Amino acid sequence: MAPTKTASQAKPRTASSQQSPVLTLWNAYNETTSTRLKTIDAFLVFLMLSGIIQFLYCILVTNFPFNAFLAGFSSCVGQFVLAASLRSQVNPANKNEFKEVSPERAFADFALGSIVLHFFVYNFLG
Amino acid sequence: MAVGIFSWFLISLAVVGAHAATLTLQSPRFTISASDASQLRSEPLSLAQKPSTALSLGPSDVLKLTFQVVDKEGGKGVQPHQTFLRFYDEVTGEEGIQPVKVTPGGKAKFELNMARPPTSLPPTTTNPLKVSLYLGSFVHSPVQYELFDLVVPPSQPPAQHTEEASFHLRPEIHHTFRPEQKLPPKIISAFFAALLAAPWVVLLGLWSHIRPQVPHLFSPAILPFVATLAAFEALLVWYWVALRLGQVLLYASILAIPTALAGKRALTAVGDRRLGKSSK
Amino acid sequence: MPLAYSLPSNLSPATVANTSSLLRIIALSLISGAAIASRLFAVINFESIIHEFDPWFNYRATKVLAEKGFYEFWNWFDPTAWYPLGRVVGGTIYPGLMATSGVIYNVLHALHLPVDIRNICVLLAPGFSALTAWSTYMFTKEMKDESAGLLAAAFIGIAPGYISRSVAGSYDNEAIAIFLLMFTFYCWIKALKTGSAFFGTLTALFYFYMVAAWGGYAFITNMIPLHALTLILMGRFSSRLYVAYSSWYAIGTLSSMQVPFVGFQPVRTSEHMAALGVFGLLQIVAFAGMVRTHVSSKQFQSILYSSVIVIGLVGALAFGGLTYKGWIAPWTGRFYSLWDTGYAKKYIPIIASVSEHQPTAWPSFFMDLQFLIFIFPAGVVLCFRELRDEHVFVIIYALVASYFAGVMVRLMLTLTPVVCVAAAVAFSSLLDTYLDPVEPAVSEAVVPSTEADSAAAASPASGSSLGTDAAAPATGKKAKKAAATESSASGLASGLIAALSPSDKSSKPRGIFGLDTRSLVIFNAFGMLLFFVLHCTYVTSSAYSSPSVVLASTNPDGSQHIIDDFREAYYWLRQNTPEDAVVMSWWDYGYQIAGMADRPTLVDNNTWNNTHIATVGKAMSSTEEVAYPILRKHDVEYVLVIFGGLIGYSGDDINKFLWMVRIAQGVWPDEIQEPNYFTPKGEYRIDDAAPATMKESLMYKMSYYRFAELFGGQQAVDRVRGQQVPKTGPTLDHLDEAFTSENWIVRIYQVKKEDPLGRDLKSANAFEQGKKRKKTKPLARRKAVV
């Protein structure tokens, strides 16, 4: 999660010298991505923001119920990677890579993974 | 120390044994002389009263004590089987017991040479030592005479006994615990909690912008699956609130069966629709 | 296509498939049966009993779990261990093993099968070995094919390297951990192959089980990231890798923190940081990959360069800073001892004192793995041939595990599975090559086209190499013979070389001709298998099936004689001492005393408090006068020593004595010095030449107390050390001999209370014996001022 954050930070820094790559990236993204993937991407952004806020709270204020922080933070991270996995599995561009995983199968995997993740999150929440 | 206890023990035995006859001392006398044999002080002792000034010995002086033990009634010399001198420092509690040799005629002579003090002499300070005489006999009742006070040159303080510490109360142990971790002020927590609503706004905003389509959400094939998934989440929340681990595992395993069935049906339906719709 | 021998041609492919799957199932169940059965030697030769040391604690904990339920077990505080400190058991163990047997126990009882908890514990390891065989089959199937899988299952089922830790009664964490290890790896490979989050989740779940069961989980924690990192560096990053790794790491790490003993370690200690780092790296790479699909490659490169540099700097700084600030714990001692084999001996004698932590002796590789150990490199080399993602995994695993197995005896256990897998791959390649009936088509220049037909027609009819040869024309015959002798002469090696260099430029046909070569190689191969089975059976029955609680020896007439001193002594303690009598012994026997005698102990095999152990070491290695206050202060009522000098039991306390000295020296370097226990020549002796420190030590005295009397005036001999024991044995003033077992293996001494008359025990003892006290002048308490 955190490295991804730095990645997105690094992007604007380079963008100051050359404006075009980020713009082209944004345009290309808007044009080529289907609604379905955009929905997941919005969800990913949401999870990333939640995670960052929790992380800031831990760094700036306190980490006192450390298990609660870990549970909250890792639920964000876990859900993020599961959603990202779902995204790459349903992405038609990756069809060759995931021969055995149909989009429906991917969703079932996602649901199972989320339930298991949530079980541990609640168990850890205290 | 052990010797002292031992002698007390015997004396108390003797008390039990003897009744009538008592012992007394005849012509007790002390002499203090310097190392060159010049007499410094020489006085007879009274059994009823100690000498008015304490006897004082220099580092090389010699104290001589002579007396005869006699039967009080007959006046005959008696050899008690136990004769001890006790040196006792009232302030420090140090004491020493010195046996005294008595002839069969009852005559006794004791010499205390400060140049070579006997091992029984206890460690001393400037306080006077109380010197008393203990007599024990099988046929006489035991007696104790306070003879005099004695001041000897101070010695080094006695060595600490190795187990001295275990005869005193130990200082109380104060456990130091890790300080209780503090929760931050409510306001800050509340602020961050409110801040966590922000991603929701972003999410809903983005979704409303994208307008994802879930056309078949309420179709009979899919609804049970969504419902069972929701039930799972509800179960987990319930676990957090009230349930125990064993219960939640039991319920989850029961709930897993309809979920799996519903999921299979729902996803097959979706898959069919996708494939039937033509490959996008 | 010419065939070396005929194949029935009237079978439909469906029948073949069905039959082979049926055969596979039968083979697997037979392998499971063999795996279980070969582990039952211990029960048959001895009885159904818990073995060794640690299993006794696991057994005791399981009994608590079965009797009082899970929550009681979780909160169990054991006041009798580590007297007077006690031990929080629930938070200091890996509960997976106990939970497993607890579940089995409850299920069986729910089915009204009243099985004793002890039998479940005894038979758990063999049962799980069958599952290990199955999971190894699945794992190897992913590597090559089913036949290799079956071979691997058979190998792991009977390989002594694994049996050594999983015989019936060896109720230890490793019993289930190897199954979990293999199954986690299988799930990981499967997740990586299919790119399914389902298998990723499954990997995480079994990883969780593994974390709950064995401290060796760190091996998985580092193996999987290492594999992922290698794949990234090889340029093999794929979305499948992302899905598999991310879902494993996210769920697995969170779940591993649920185990109380592990706690926050996964985010705090250096051992777990590799996994976190690779996780971060994967996110970056995946993000970069996504960006790449949307922009042109030149722009992408400029973005990539700057971000890689920034991220690398930030990551390194963060890691260094966090370690410096103490947020991330530095590496632990056990970890250092993996890299520097001398480390433990220098700094942590308590780790080095465990025989399992010693470096492995070379013969034990052969003893534990027999011919697998030299087939194993061939299997690894074969993995390079295909080098799919999963083969990379096996190669890494093989390298890492080989190193670790060389460092520590006990890590032989993690090496065994990969040896079995690699050997099975190699062996089944060999069998595939030599069983394949297809003969290479001989090039046209040498053999006319009709020849091939005639050979094919002839071979079904004759079915022997002679017939084939006879039917072939003379020219073909010569060429074939030359090829056959060449290949059979160099045997296995040339087969491998041929397999490795398929792109040979020469036009000469390569392959195996005729049945003679085939039968020779295959006969040889089956001979190796046969000897492997014989070796495994022999080693298992003779070396690895001893419970070490019960010993066996042979009488002069060849019949077996059971030496049961340990239980004799432990039951004596149980029957004859008050329930709260504290027993002091060296830590090896702590769990056994707690388990069998049910008495409080000072130290046990959970070696968490070095000072406490050193205290016991000090008491054992110093004189009676020094030891007595230590004993009294710890309320010790009985002292138990193990002495093998009478019957030659070499694992006794005198042989472990130097470790006690070393550990005590670590804490009290002024009072205990190791060199004092050696003769001036540097020998370790217990006879007349033994140094005074040795002779005066409590351990020496307790071991040899009244030993010489046993020989009735003859020269007493210690059979373990092979040295003569002094005729006048040591005397004990502060301890009384309370019990000595039949063969003198266990000796128990009672600690005397203080003398009621206030004498010190030495003079009281002398008085009792009617000895006249030596007259000494009492010391003057008065000291003159100088």
pLDDT of C34 above 50: yes
Residues of C in contact with B246 (CB under 8 A): 70
Q: Which of B107-111, B204-208, C139-143, C710-714 has the lowest mean pLDDT?
A: C710-714
Residue C200 to residue A77, Cβ atoms within 8 A: no
Please give the radius of gyration of chain C, using alpha carbons only, rounded to the nearest integer.
33
Write down the residue that tokens 């010699």 correspond to.
Answer: B62
Range 268-297 of C in CB contact (< 8 A) with A: 280-281, 283-284, 286-288, 291, 293-296
Pairing, β C746-751 against β C636-642: antiparallel
Domain that holds residue A113: 35-125
Residues of C in contact with B96 (CB under 8 A): 781-782
Tell me what pLDDT residue A21 has. Answer: 67
Between A and C, how many CB-CB pairs are < 8 A? 152
Which positions of chain B have pLDDT values less than 50? 1-3, 14-18, 278-280
Please give the Cα distance from C108 to C123 (Å, whole number).
Answer: 14
Indicate the residue of A82, A94, A97 with minimum beta-carbon distance to C197: A82
Strands (E), C34-178: 77-78, 87-88
Residue C198 to residue A81, Cβ atoms within 8 A: no
CATH topology of domain B2-154: Immunoglobulin-like (2.60.40)
Residue C778 to residue B154, Cβ atoms within 8 A: no
Task: Give the number of C-alpha atoms closer than 13 A to the C-alpha of residue C360, restricted to the C-beta side.
Answer: 23
Residue C293 to residue A24, Cβ atoms within 8 A: no
Q: How many CB atoms neighbour CB C590 within 10 A?
A: 27
Indicate the residue of A29, A78, A93 with minimum beta-carbon distance to C251: A78
Q: Which range in B25-29, C294-298, C616-620 is most confidently predicted, on average pLDDT? A: C616-620
Residue B184 to residue A118, Cβ atoms within 8 A: no
Strand partners, C746: C642
Q: Which position has the higher pLDDT, C337 or C433?
A: C433
Residues B236 and A119: beta-carbon distance below 8 Å: yes
Residue C212: name the closest of C166, C269, C260 by CA: C260
Residue A98 to residue C195, Cβ atoms within 8 A: yes
Residue A119 forms contact with B (CB below 8 Å): yes
> Which class would CATH give C564-768?
alpha beta
Residues of B in contact with C110 (CB under 8 A): none
Tell me what pLDDT residue C507 has. Answer: 56
Residue B263 to residue A111, Cβ atoms within 8 A: yes
Tell me what pLDDT residue A14 has. Answer: 42
Optimal mutation site among A1, A5, A6, interface C, most CBs of chain C within 10 A = A6
The answer to whether the bond into C84 is cis (omega within 30° of 0) is yes
Optimal mutation site among C782, C783, C785, C786, interface B, most CBs of chain B within 10 A = C782
**DSSP 8-state secondary structure symbol assigned to residue C594:** I
Indicate the residue of C71, C777, C782 with minimum beta-carbon distance to B155: C782
Please give the Cα distance from B235 to A15 (Å, whole number).
Answer: 47
> What domain count does chain A have?
1
Share of chain C above pLDDT 90, in %: 24
Residues A50 and B199: beta-carbon distance below 8 Å: yes
Mean pLDDT of A13-26: 59
Residue A10 to residue C296, Cβ atoms within 8 A: no
Indicate the residue of B183, B206, B210 with minimum beta-carbon distance to A64: B183
Mean pLDDT of C594-621: 88
pTM given for the model: 0.80
Residue B119 to residue C784, Cβ atoms within 8 A: no
Residue C18 forms contact with A (CB below 8 Å): no
Residue C699: name the closest of C738, C740, C665, C730 by CA: C730
Residue C604: name the closest of C616, C618, C589 by CA: C589
C interface with B, Cβ–Cβ < 8 A, is: 70-71, 758, 777-785
Residue A116 forms contact with B (CB below 8 Å): no
A23 within some domain: no
Indicate the residue of B196, B210, B274 with minimum beta-carbon distance to A50: B196
Between B and C, how many CB-CB pairs are < 8 A? 40
Mean pLDDT of C757-777: 78
Residue C777 to residue B119, Cβ atoms within 8 A: yes
Residues of A in contact with C288 (CB under 8 A): 7
Domain layout of chain B by residue ranges: 2-154, 186-279
Range 35-74 of A in CB contact (< 8 A) with B: 35-36, 38-39, 42-43, 45-47, 49-50, 53-54, 56-57, 61-62, 64
Residues of B in contact with C784 (CB under 8 A): 117, 153, 155-156
CA C20 to chain centroid, in Å, comes to 35
Q: How far is CA B43 from CA B130, C123, C550, in A?
A: 17, 98, 86
Residues of A in contact with C278 (CB under 8 A): none
Tell me what pLDDT residue C185 has. Answer: 94
A12 within some domain: no
Residue B154 to residue C785, Cβ atoms within 8 A: yes
Please give the Cα distance from A117 to C253 (Å, whole number).
Answer: 10
Residues C184 and C248: beta-carbon distance below 8 Å: no
Please give the Cα distance from C131 to C182 (Å, whole number).
Answer: 10
Residue C239 to residue A101, Cβ atoms within 8 A: no
> Phi, psi (5° rounding) for residue C201?
-65, -40
Tell me what pLDDT residue C482 has. Answer: 42
Residue A103 to residue B274, Cβ atoms within 8 A: yes
Tell me what pLDDT residue C326 has. Answer: 63
SS3 content of chain B, % helix, strand, coil (to 5): 35, 25, 40
Domain layout of chain C by residue ranges: 564-768
Mean pLDDT of C414-437: 90
Mean pLDDT of C704-711: 86
All residues at 6 or more sequence positions from C541 whose CB lies less than 8 Å from its CB, including other chains: C41, C45
Mean pLDDT of C414-436: 90
Q: C784 CA to chain B: closest CA distance, Å?
A: 5
pLDDT of A4 above 60: no
Residue B196 to residue A54, Cβ atoms within 8 A: yes
The helices-and-strands tally (H runs, E runs) of chain B is 5, 9
Please give the Cα distance from C167 to C562 (Å, whole number).
Answer: 19
Residue B211 to residue A35, Cβ atoms within 8 A: yes
Residues of C in contact with A91 (CB under 8 A): 239
Q: Length of chain C in residues, anyone?
A: 786
Chains contacting C (3+ CB pairs below 8 angstroms): A, B
Residue B121 forms contact with C (CB below 8 Å): yes
All residues at 6 or more sequence positions from C37 whose CB lies less than 8 Å from its CB, including other chains: none
The angle formed by the CA atoms of residues C766, C771 and C772, to the nearest 5 degrees, is 115
Q: Which position has the higher pLDDT, C297 or C563?
A: C563
pLDDT of C481 above 80: no
Residue A108 forms contact with B (CB below 8 Å): yes
Residues C607 and C53: beta-carbon distance below 8 Å: no
Q: What is the pLDDT of residues C450-460, one digit of tens each?
A: 444 444 443 44
Instruction: Quickly state the pLDDT bin for C345 (edges 50, 70, 90).
Output: low
Please give the Cα distance from C208 to C255 (Å, whole number).
Answer: 6
Optimal mutation site among B211, B240, B272, interface A, most CBs of chain A within 10 A = B240
Residues of C in contact with B122 (CB under 8 A): 781-782
Q: What is the pLDDT of residues C121-137, one digit of tens each?
A: 999 999 999 999 999 99
pLDDT of C446 above 50: no
| One-letter amino acid for residue B191 of the chain | F
Q: Average pLDDT, whole number, for chain C? A: 82
Residue B119 to residue C783, Cβ atoms within 8 A: no
Optimal mutation site among B207, B247, B261, interface A, most CBs of chain A within 10 A = B207
Tell me what pLDDT residue C337 has. Answer: 66
- What interface predicted TM-score (ipTM) does this complex get? 0.84
Query: For residue C784, what is the nearest residue in chain B, using CA coordinates?
Result: B155
Share of chain C above pLDDT 70, in %: 86
Between A and B, how many CB-CB pairs are < 8 A? 84
Q: What is the pLDDT of residues C232-270, one digit of tens each?
A: 888 888 888 988 999 999 999 999 988 888 888 888 887
Residues C162 and C132: beta-carbon distance below 8 Å: yes
Instruction: Quickly state the pLDDT bin for C204 (edges 50, 70, 90).
Output: very high
